[in-house]
Amino acid sequence: MSHNLVAYVGLTHLGLISAAAALEKGAHVICFDPDENLITRLKSLKYPINEPGFEEAINKNKDRIVFTSSLEDLKKADLIYVAPDIPTDDTGAGNLEGIKKLITLIAPYILRTACLIILSQVPPGFTRSLQGIVQPTRIDPEKIYYQVETLVFGIALQRALYPERFVIGVQNTKKALDIKYESFLKSFNCPLLIMDYESAEFCKISINAFLAATVSTANTLEEICQKIGAKWSDITPALRLDKRIGEYAYLSPGLGLSGGNIERDLRTIVSISQERGTYGKVVDSFIKNSHHRRNWPFNIFYNYILPQFSDKNMTIGVLGLAYKENTHSTKNSAALKLISQLKEFNVQAYDPLVKKLPFDSDSIILKPSVSETVKDSDVLFLMTPWAEFKDQDLQKITSLMRHQFIVDPYKILSTNSDIANSKELNYYSLC
């Protein structure tokens, strides 16, 4: 590939992972963020994200990466990716003020020959609306692009290095892609799908809606399986062999949509549907199903476990706080939802990466290890399927507990041992 100089603006999970992937493809990379403290930390090799292969990729290619807070450095870049997080409010709706401010800040430092590429998750119409922001600057409006990102926490670098396809939104589909940008994209050896801004923006949302549909359908059907005595785990292999559903479909039962990004896109669809008078209730149902599903551990606790305790002064152990394994993110985490519901009880929790809760609570103690968390627990919840938890010995765990009530939605613990069949163990999982 050519020697592109690629800048990433907004050093979020997305920005940093994309920068690491660009490094691995041989590009020279500028990582810009107006937060000087963040740049200082990054320069001293303290990274705010945990992703398999990320640190190795950065360290291996450190002679080709610059972390900076200087806007002047952006003048050197051929391609400028903008990748800040789009924060969501309590209802899951996205706030675009941050990304607009960031683009306004950097726009005067972008050369006319450079491309400005929006990588953050934005609603349809956003990229076209940038024309107003960039008008007083040297930026060529035709060199503004929107690129669909498909970041998946925990396997983010792998997906960034080997994308299934690139979906690019352009101002004018009749015009050729900028040659440097095209050259950079082609270095990833995947199909390029070029479409107008609105289609690309909605493409990203559509991908998430389809994922949500699969997750919601799987969770809905699994719940029915629980009621009628069917085994969802027996059904899923048959579904995966159906080409219309597929090997990689999200069929494992879970605790709803976590992470925040998918729910934000679903809210965008519902909002557009309301504004434009289309029937969007099916998508609204995905959100409601997700919220219903997130209550599963709490409902198990109240309906099956709590009635068995005359003394409510019990200790509850929670293993896993992140919304999924291999990430420190707790956005929309089912574990945090559970903990907020159990605030009147004594809760001790452990997560391999999450060492601080996003809210204050006197009744929750963060423990340094699995065994410290399990010790003297009356009830144990396994809320994130970390590999560390999968390796735990059920016999050892139950021997540390005061009472043996285990809620293990993802079936993390192996229940093949004799202890699993003992009368003392009360074990609850999704099927």
Partner 1 sequence: MLVHKGKCHPGERVLLLGCNGFIGKVLTKELKDSDFVVDTVSSKDIDLTDPNSVLPLVDKIKTCDHLVVLSCLTPDKGKGTDTLMKNILMAKHICDAILQQENRPHVIYFSADAVYNFEESLIHEEISPSPIDTYGAMHRTRELIFKEAVPDQLAIIRSTLVYGPGDTHNSYGPNRFRREAFREGSITIFGEGEDTRAHIFIDDLVKLTVLVIKNKSLGILNGATDESISFGELAKLISQFFNKPIEIKKKPRLSEPTHRYFEASRCYEAFPGFTFTPLKEGLTRTYQKMLEDPNA
Stretch of 97-105, 109-117, 151-159, 300-308 contacting partner 1, by CB under 8 A: 300-308
Long-range pairs for 330-334: beta carbons < 8 A, 24 or more residues apart: 330/354, 330/357, 330/358, 331/258, 331/259, 331/260, 332/257, 332/258, 332/259, 332/260, 332/263, 333/258, 333/383, 333/384, 334/255, 334/256, 334/258, 334/294, 334/297, 334/383
Sole binder of partner 1 in the list 63, 90, 275, 344 (CB under 8 A): 344
Asked whether position 407 contacts partner 1 by CB under 8 A, the answer is no
Sole binder of partner 1 in the list 2, 70, 113, 299 (CB under 8 A): 299
Tokens read off for 228? 């009628």
Asked whether position 89 contacts partner 1 by CB under 8 A, the answer is no
Tokens read off for 96? 């675009």
Asked whether position 221 contacts partner 1 by CB under 8 A, the answer is no
Asked whether position 191 contacts partner 1 by CB under 8 A, the answer is no
Asked whether position 428 contacts partner 1 by CB under 8 A, the answer is no
Sole binder of partner 1 in the list 341, 346, 395, 415 (CB under 8 A): 341
Asked whether position 113 contacts partner 1 by CB under 8 A, the answer is no
Asked whether position 271 contacts partner 1 by CB under 8 A, the answer is no
Degrees to nearest 5, angle at CA 380 with 376 and 384: 135
Amino acid of residue 332: N
Cα(301)–Cα(295) distance, rounded to whole angstroms? 10
Cα(96)–Cα(118) distance, rounded to whole angstroms? 12
Inter-axis angle of helices 281-294 and 197-228, nearest 10: 50
Asked whether position 233 contacts partner 1 by CB under 8 A, the answer is no
Number of H helices, E strands in the chain: 16, 14
Closer to partner 1 at the Cβ: 210 or 359? 359
Asked whether position 303 contacts partner 1 by CB under 8 A, the answer is yes
Counting residues that bind partner 1 (by CB under 8 A) gives 14
Cα(189)–Cα(186) distance, rounded to whole angstroms? 5
Asked whether position 359 contacts partner 1 by CB under 8 A, the answer is no
Asked whether position 338 contacts partner 1 by CB under 8 A, the answer is no
Asked whether position 307 contacts partner 1 by CB under 8 A, the answer is yes
Distance of CA 198 to the CA centre of its chain: 23
Stretch of 37-45, 118-126, 152-160, 294-302 contacting partner 1, by CB under 8 A: 294-302
Tokens read off for 57? 């990729």
**Rounded to the nearest whole angstrom, what is the least distance from the CB of residue 304 to partner 1 in the complex?**
11
Asked whether position 292 contacts partner 1 by CB under 8 A, the answer is yes
Name the residues that contact partner 1, by CB under 8 A: 292, 295, 298-299, 302-303, 306-307, 312, 341-345
